[in-house]
Amino acid sequence: MAAGGQSNGKGGQPLLSVQNVETFYGAVMAIRGVSLDVHEGQIVTILGANGAGKTTLLKTISGVMDPEKGKIVFEGKEIQGAEPDAIVRSGIVHVPEGREIFPFLSVEENLMMGAFTRSDRANFAADLDMVHSYFPILKDRAGQQAGYLSGGQQQMLAIGRGLMGKPRLMLLDEPSLGLSPILVQEIFAIIRRLNQEQGVTILLVEQNANVALKVADHGFVLEVGRIVMADTSARLLASEDVQEFYLGMHGESQREQKRWKRRKTWR
């Protein structure tokens, strides 16, 4: 089993298995031997500060970057180094950091772009209806230029475009970035519904640990290209290190409490 040792309780082969992957920018190793498993039906989150390597890891999985070392196995097949469009066709969709919608195309044209790489385009209308049922605003704004949408609406469009590719695994890169707390709640509630109702397995990269751990089953903490913690979301939420470094609870009272707890365990 990969680092983290998580399982979905059903055992069996993971949907995605990242095995000892290393990815470079020139001479700089941004991903330094990362291993993790994602099982079918899970929401798994990767937490980490700015520059930890979260985006690089997702780009390596989706084929935007090639790993120097290691394996990436999806549904039992090795996909490391494959072309991004082949990886999309295999069932992995990457919703990139910063949304990257096409600002001069209409909302509906953006959604059509998401269906572009699919071999079965027969269900386009049904899939569009499905996306509109989760994001009604995308139906209301179908003919409008996507660049005029608000940040939250653009994030919805980016996720909707990804859904049009009929993914089995969706890679989400910081969907909460730059959004108000209310919108973040709204988008994360939809992410959870997509997981439960559409059966989309989700690998979610976030700096917002609090919100990500509430929606995820399992979490990994990435620091300078390495996984330094791996556990269930419940245990990570309760972990003092995660609280101190990723949930921003490092006030005096917490430190006092921690010192007291440590003394207690030593005696």
Ligand X SMILES: Nc1ncnc2c1ncn2[C@@H]1O[C@H](COP(=O)(O)OP(=O)(O)O)[C@@H](O)[C@H]1O
Question: Which residues of the chain form contacts with ligand X (CB under 6 A)?
Answer: 25, 28, 30, 48, 50-56
Task: Taking the CA atoms of 86, 89, 91 and 93 in sequence, report the sign of the dihedral they define.
Answer: positive
Q: Which C-beta is closer to Mg ion: that of 111 or that of 203?
A: 203
- Which one, of 54, 35, 56, lies nearest residue 46 by Cα? 54
Give me the least distance between CB of 179 and ligand X, in Å please. Answer: 17
Find the binding residues for Mg ion in span 35-94 (CB under 5 A).
54-55
Q: How many CA atoms lie within 13 A of 228 on its CB side?
A: 15
3-state secondary structure of 93: strand
What DSSP element (H or E) covers 23?
strand 16-25
User: Could you say which of ligand X, Mg ion, none residue 165 binds, taking C-beta under 5 to 8 angstroms by partner kind?
Assistant: none
Give me the least distance between CB of 222 and ligand X, in Å please. Answer: 7
Q: Which C-beta is closer to ligand X: that of 4 or that of 48?
A: 48
Sheet of 28-38: strands edge to edge? 28-38, 16-25, 69-74, 77-78
Give me the least distance between CB of 133 and Mg ion, in Å please. Answer: 30
Q: How many residues bind Mg ion (CB under 5 A)?
A: 3
Give me the least distance between CB of 58 and Mg ion, in Å please. Answer: 8
Q: Which residues bind Mg ion (CB under 5 A)?
A: 54-55, 97
